[in-house]
Amino acid sequence: MILEGKTALVTGGSRGIGRAIALRLAGMGARVAINYVSKPDAAQAVVDAIGAAGGEGALYKFDVADSAAVNDGITKIIEDFGRLDILVNNAGITRDGLLMKMKEESWDQVLDTNLKGAFNCIKAVNRPMMKQRWGRIVNISSVIGFLGNAGQANYAAAKAGLTGLTRSVARELASRNITVNGVAPGYIDTDMTRDLAEEVKEKVLAEIPMRAMGSVEDVAGAVAYLVSEDARYVTGQFIHVNGGMFMG
């Protein structure tokens, strides 16, 4: 149990990749705070699964795009658990559409959640982690942030922005024994990708050298490495989990 005594926060932890990360960290011994905005039943199911496996988890509802709500939520987590050691910025949304038809609202919503949300959470945990002189921050990006994609200019911009944010904050916090890294998944088998039309799936698979989508556990495994002591000397880096779709 290499994370025993540690507390982790996973934003957007109610389903998909976030759920898998939360379960993996709990399995490593961490107490896990599950952040969510909607789908309370799904979020509770994650906490129940953690408890059934002998772990400890709790729910915290707040919108990562709202800085005041983030500050209140993280303050409450630290009050409840006594400390916060690991932050996984996983919360994200999509509002896809071609740029010429994209509404300003769709741009703002995606940037506010996917990029500003990570900024809000990092800023809120900055001082507590610096004080305890230990911390692990992992930002969940996307292959789209490195390759771009037609119809996803807002999503690609937000995820690309995470690259600069990750590397800048990594430089700021390295001397305090706080690492800041990212994981960039490719096409992962989730509810979203399962709903794709078969012809779209075939086109996607043709772009992946491994000719298969990844699993949420593949992503969780990369996060598990980055928050462990095995990665104590790794900071400002991105692990690409995409079956060879992008090699950077």
Residue 81 in contact with residue 1, Cβ under 8 Å? no
Alpha carbon distance 174, 231 (integer Å): 13
Asked about 60 being catalytic, the answer comes back as: no
Catalytic residue among 155, 187, 225, 233: 155
DSSP labels, the chain = -TTTT-EEEETTTTSHHHHHHHHHHHHTT-EEEEEESS-HHHHHHHHHHHHHTT--EEEEE--TT-HHHHHHHHHHHHHHHS---EEEE---------GGG--HHHHHHHHIIIIIHHHHHHHHHHHHHHHHT-EEEEEE--THHHH--TT-HHHHHHHHHHHHHHHHHHHHHGGGTEEEEEEEE-SB-SHHHHTS-HHHHHHHHHT-TT-S-B-HHHHHHHHHHHHSGGGTT--S-EEEESTTS---
Residue type, 31: R
Place of tokens 């809000």: 120
Residues marked as catalytic: 155
